[in-house]
């Protein structure tokens, strides 16, 4: 068992506080009026007894309780993706009279919520949930910091081992710039250490026999006698042991064995599906073998033997404000998207070469006759076998890595995959080489995404689901997974010879798949693609290689400008993209914290809203 050190907790609190302050400011949580800032010199003269804030630009002294003379002081500097951001590494200070305290994220938010009692007077549940998740995020970040990902000999590893290592690396940060991202609510500290990807501990899955007449299956599942999860997930000897138990219990001809995450087995099955187990529709099996490893999404698992077939399971922890179940309706929609993506490969020869797709057509979901696609209980017992392209995993000159691994600093190290990339290419380890490789990476990523956008769609392009295909020293393409999050604009699909896939959407519920305007579809490239994925990579490269982040943003702008001109957009679409990316004073952004507080838990996907931030390309003036 890891013991949380004071140092690890302090480092975790600093990481979470940075994202917390930045996120609140970007979301205009404190209002849209200009912040009352003072220079560091003036602040120090007014408060000579105050703790040091370092060499900083400005100090924001916020009155959180004027009646009792309570103030909070935060060091700020101009940002590129937002007007102001917290100066990294500086404390957040509370003052009453001239008594000073350094605040933890939890202490800070308690004071913030206390000052906004009227605003949140009817949502005690939302505030309590937020504070609980915030504290969990700090604790679990500290647990992750206490373990070092094994980054030795990366390029000497075979393709599958390399991929697993980079998944662990990507998991260290989870979703960048989200202060609550690391929190996996429902996991005890011991369970977190046992199941979280970066801890690299093998997991033996449990198995449940399900009446085969009560299963709904994906398009890739043919005869259930031949297409069942164990066939893809277990080597022959373990399949035989599982099959032996099924025969011994008289279940071999009537039931199919589905894998279950041990956390789900212990905490969820009886609560959600007790009646199905009582009737014998579902039966727990004793078989419990095979060393699976979590990937960066926790409930997606590596195979336990040499195979390109990975596993995705429901796991009803709460992460990013949403329960991580796996409903049949999402997998049905994913199948519709996957079919559309295969059409796209025929529409653009560049995409045909550089865009790769996981096969997500093989899935099994418990679906009793009285249930609907939108019922709660069945979505907690299902499984998907996600097939990765064997040609990529088996190619000795190819490496797969989630782009999130490029945007995640390795704690206590200046290690980065660009080290290996520069060495492979015999490039000098200097700033110019970093800019050269980043340009190649950005060109490949946005060439693919803008070509998809031209055809009326965008994939899930944040750093966890967008997997870089690196081949023989070059950014050679992109591998997409989680097809259920493909976003579309139907008029552009239709004008390119494709049709509305007719997603299954619950009536009266908002969805993020269909979009009424191309600008609304572009939102996802601006937010997930640039503000999350690419920004994290740029910030990490700037930190690791001690280069100005502004130079990386300038490279990105030039790459986008070139691609928008060279890709075959019509004049109207090209003008719209340029207007939204380069000319508009503000960009859209995903609101994360306010929607989470407002929803106060409950079912559904990650809560979010839409807001605005400054246009980052307008912040790149010489003095910016």
Residues found in the chain: 624
CA angle 438, 619, 36 (to 5 degrees): 135
CA angle 499, 457, 581 (to 5 degrees): 145
17: tokens are 């506080």
Q: Is the pLDDT score of 423 beyond 90?
A: yes
Helix (H, G, I), strand (E, B) or coil at 539: helix
CB–CB of 617/554 below 8 Å? no
Kindly list the distances between the CA atom of residue 209 and the CA atoms of 18, 126, 248, 289, 300, in Å, as whole numbers in the listed order. Answer: 47, 39, 13, 15, 20
Of all residues in the chain, the percent with pLDDT exceeding 90 is: 82
Task: Determine the average pLDDT of the residues in 4-20.
Answer: 93
Q: Is the pLDDT score of 624 beyond 50?
A: no
67: tokens are 């009646």
CB–CB of 376/538 below 8 Å? no
CA 108 to CA 112: how far, in whole Å? 6
Q: What pLDDT, on the 0 to 100 scale, is given for residue 604?
A: 56
CB neighbours of residue 389 within 10 Å: 17
Say which residues have a Cβ less than 8 Å from residue 243's Cβ, sequence separation at least 6.
230, 252
CA 356 to chain centre: 19
Task: Determine the average pLDDT of the residues in 17-39.
Answer: 95
Kindly list the distances between the CA atom of residue 104 and the CA atoms of 16, 110, 185, 525, in Å, as whole numbers in the listed order. Answer: 9, 10, 20, 34
Q: Is the pLDDT score of 382 beyond 80?
A: yes
Q: What pLDDT, on the 0 to 100 scale, is given for residue 456?
A: 98
Cα–Cα nearest to 50, from 75, 25, 68: 75
Helix (H, G, I), strand (E, B) or coil at 203: strand
Domains of the chain from N-terminus onward: 6-122 (3.30.310), 196-349+357-387 (no CATH), 392-619 (1.10.510.40)
pLDDT band at 67 (very low <50, low <70, confident <90, very high): low
Q: What pLDDT, on the 0 to 100 scale, is given for residue 139?
A: 96
DSSP string, 296-355: TTSSEE--SSS-SEEEE--EEEEETTEEE---HHHHHHHHHHHHHHHHHHHH-HHHHHHE
Eight-class DSSP state of 53: -
Task: Determine the average pLDDT of the residues in 572-589.
Answer: 97
pLDDT band at 269 (very low <50, low <70, confident <90, very high): very high
Helix (H, G, I), strand (E, B) or coil at 144: helix
CA 486 to CA 334: how far, in whole Å? 8
Mean pLDDT of the chain: 93
pTM: 0.96
pLDDT 10s digits, 389-420: 999 999 999 999 999 999 999 988 899 999 99
CB neighbours of residue 595 within 10 Å: 17
CA 620 to CA 555: how far, in whole Å? 11
150: tokens are 């094994």
pLDDT 10s digits, 141-158: 999 998 778 888 999 999
CB neighbours of residue 17 within 10 Å: 24
Task: Determine the average pLDDT of the residues in 11-30.
Answer: 96
Stretch (H or E) spanning 501: none
Cα–Cα nearest to 481, from 304, 311, 260: 311
Write the Ramachandran bin of 426: left for phi over 0, alpha for psi from -120 to 50, otherwise beta: left
pLDDT band at 451 (very low <50, low <70, confident <90, very high): very high
């Amino acid at each position: 068992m890891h013991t949380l050190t004071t140092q690890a907790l302090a480092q975790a609190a600093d990481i979470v506080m940075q994202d917390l302050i930045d996120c609140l400011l970007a979301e205009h949580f404190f209002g849209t009026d200009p912040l009352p800032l003072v220079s560091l010199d003036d602040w120090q003269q007014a408060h000579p007894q105050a703790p040091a804030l370092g060499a900083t630009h400005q100090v924001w002294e916020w009155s959180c309780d004027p009646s009792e003379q309570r103030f909070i002081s935060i060091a700020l500097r101009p940002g590129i993706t937002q007007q102001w951001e917290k100066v990294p590494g500086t404390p957040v200070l509370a003052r009453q009279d001239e008594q000073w305290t350094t605040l933890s994220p939890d202490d800070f938010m308690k004071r913030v919520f206390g000052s906004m009692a009227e605003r949140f007077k009817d949502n005690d549940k939302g505030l309590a949930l937020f504070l609980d998740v915030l504290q969990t995020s700090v604790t679990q970040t500290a647990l992750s910091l206490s373990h070092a990902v094994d980054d030795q000999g990366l390029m000497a590893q075979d393709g599958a081992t390399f991929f697993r290592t980079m998944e662990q690396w990507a998991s260290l940060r989870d979703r960048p710039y989200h202060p609550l991202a690391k929190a996996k609510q429902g996991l005890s500290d011991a369970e977190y250490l046992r199941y979280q990807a970066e801890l690299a501990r093998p997991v033996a899955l449990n198995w449940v026999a399900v009446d085969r007449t009560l299963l709904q299956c994906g398009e890739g599942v043919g005869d259930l006698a031949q297409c069942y999860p164990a066939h893809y997930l277990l080597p022959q000897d373990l399949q035989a042991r599982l099959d032996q138990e099924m025969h011994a219990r008289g279940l071999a001809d009537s039931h199919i064995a589905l894998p279950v995450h041990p956390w789900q087995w212990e905490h969820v099955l009886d609560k959600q599906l007790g009646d199905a187990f009582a009737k014998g529709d579902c039966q727990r099996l004793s078989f419990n073998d095979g060393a699976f490893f979590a990937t960066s999404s926790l409930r997606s698992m590596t195979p336990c033997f040499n195979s390109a077939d990975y596993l995705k399971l429901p796991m009803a922890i709460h992460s990013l404000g949403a329960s991580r179940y796996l409903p049949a309706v999402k997998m049905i929609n994913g199948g519709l998207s996957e079919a559309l993506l295969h059409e796209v490969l025929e529409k653009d020869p560049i995409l045909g070469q550089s865009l790769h797709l996981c096969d997500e057509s093989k899935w099994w979901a418990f679906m009793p006759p009285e249930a609907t696609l939108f019922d709660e209980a069945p979505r907690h017992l299902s499984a998907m076998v996600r097939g990765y392209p064997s040609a990529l995993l088996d190619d000795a000159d190819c490496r797969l890595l989630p782009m999130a691994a490029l945007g995640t600093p390795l704690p206590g190290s200046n290690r980065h995959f660009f080290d290996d990339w520069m060495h492979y290419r015999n490039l000098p380890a200097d700033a110019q080489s970093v800019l050269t490789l980043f340009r190649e990476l950005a060109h490949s990523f946005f060439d693919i995404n803008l070509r998809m956008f031209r055809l009326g769609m965008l994939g899930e392009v944040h750093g966890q689901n967008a997997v870089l295909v690196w081949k023989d020293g070059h950014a050679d393409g992109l591998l997409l997974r989680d097809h259920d999050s493909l976003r579309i604009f139907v008029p552009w699909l239709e004008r390119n010879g494709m049709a509305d896939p007719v997603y299954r959407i619950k009536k009266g519920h908002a969805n993020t798949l269909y979009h009424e305007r191309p600008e609304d579809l572009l939102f996802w490239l601006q937010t997930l693609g640039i503000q999350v994925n690419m920004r994290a990579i740029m910030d990490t490269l700037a930190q690791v290689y001690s280069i100005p982040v502004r130079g990386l943003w300038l490279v990105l702008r030039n790459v986008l400008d070139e691609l928008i001109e060279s890709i075959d957009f019509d004049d109207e679409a090209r003008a719209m993209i340029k207007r939204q990316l380069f000319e508009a004073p503000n960009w859209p952004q995903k609101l994360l914290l306010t929607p989470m507080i407002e929803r106060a838990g409950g079912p559904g996907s990650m809560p979010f809203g839409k807001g605005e931030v400054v246009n980052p390309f307008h912040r790149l003036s010489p003095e910016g």
